[in-house]
Structure 1
């Protein structure tokens, strides 16, 4: 356990430092984040995500203090890793285990990053509906992502505990993901709308806080005549946190279809979330060009859900995590290429 806490603690410290540097670079003033800056930060976060994969490939066994065959067999059984080790070759077995962790981590990262695109569609709609100027997007997303990290941490480790205690819950997750994917496909062309006045989160906040419709610079709160009001900036932050909570119901089970190790789920999830903000500014003005992405994401969820429902049979058939990674990347690539080759017709 001490090794897990050290590995986890080191990861958290690294993320906090990188986030602090990120905030320091972009939070000096309220101004829109440029496409160039977003591209640079996106590349940096992807680089660190891939670099962490290399760390797992070399030192992944240190996460659970695996240095002997007995411990390795225990961890493989505990986290349902679909690998067969050579009990007479410790070095080769650890290398295989580390490789498996790395593939699971990268697959989970790609899944979460892909599902985050749907989150961007909703964020663009929310900012527009609440009338938030572009120069304040960054501040809202910063606090939104910090809240998302805390919520995902809770979700992931609670989910891992449920899976460990009730193995059948994987079938529930799988059926839910298939249903969500089918629903997303059916509603792929449906125009989403947000009513700022009647949104459940806004009604809830209005019941416990005094709300002002007026923005006060980049402030979340406004004090007038000794009375504290929440601004539309704070309301949209609450709605974004609520929306992420809804998205987590899809994305967390999706990654558990890839790996049952909660630490690997957490690492892949957090790197994807941290890259979401820069990806938002990268795609905010061109997101509509990828009109087949929702179709791709729908098929992605259906595939992941089906994999969870059929995991026992697939393992017997020889289906590995690397096969999932290939299929997932293929689905995303096809949806992106199709969007570019067959652009959406402009409405007259």
Structure 2
């Protein structure tokens, strides 16, 4: 056995009643004890107290008080070796389990007495840690939801749908990710594991800068064994997992609800243009034949987000809500510039200055 990637778990691996008090003390003190050095594949260096050459890990107490690490676990998280070794048992040989303040302890790990790491099937708890808005790279903190805090969860499904929702459960991003093979994660311990995923422009349903404004307000819904649609996110960032689209029906449903949410969100701002002019940039409805394609909800939303990324004042309205469009029996999602003008000429000058032609930009007030 050769240690590959290890972690120190400051909770007793055994659950004996007599260790409970020690467990509580050790858990509180855990942040002060670190893995200082690891010697793997020991064939030449000094052995343990029984002269047996073992891999070893040197622990350091960086705190100001002594810490007893009896019952703590050293977890080997390498790709092949998934083992757990308990300090203070025959699995880990050492003469004392108390590390003095500022002191060290060398734990010799006996490969012949290793125990398989405990696992559970409970889905991990997940929350958004941070968002990089440029291309919607989301860092998710996943923590173990196992009853036994020494157990870990394998996050290795090849079709895990991760849906980001706001505080009202509205979907803001949705994609299916492959966590199998090299993308697999082991979720263990209270500190959790960070997972970075990226959503392509077809996989989020609000402007990226708005999604990233308050990441702590977002929740993560995880569903394994999900159906995939076509397309995948592309990211140049190392360690970021790209996702496939959800199915067309699910994406279209997400986009339809997102359009309705955006219309309601922008209604108060649009009321300013009862008494002044703004510029209309687009009017589209589902099934409309225009610009060489048949428009669906995803196309309409994508156009709005693209324009919003260019100009954050852009608004989305439903023509049926405003008197200016009452003469037209067909109703449309309308994109407005969100800029106020005193005259139609001023609005048209704005259109020209922003490279919009007469077929793409027109002056309007909403009365």
When normalised by structure 2's length, the TM-score is 0.20
Give 1 or 2 for the bigger CA radius of gyration.
2
The answer to which structure has the higher helix fraction is 1
Q: Which has the higher contact order (CA 8 A, sep 6+)?
A: 1
Structure with greater strand share of residues: 2
Task: Compute the TM-score of the two structures, normalised by the length of structure 1.
Answer: 0.21
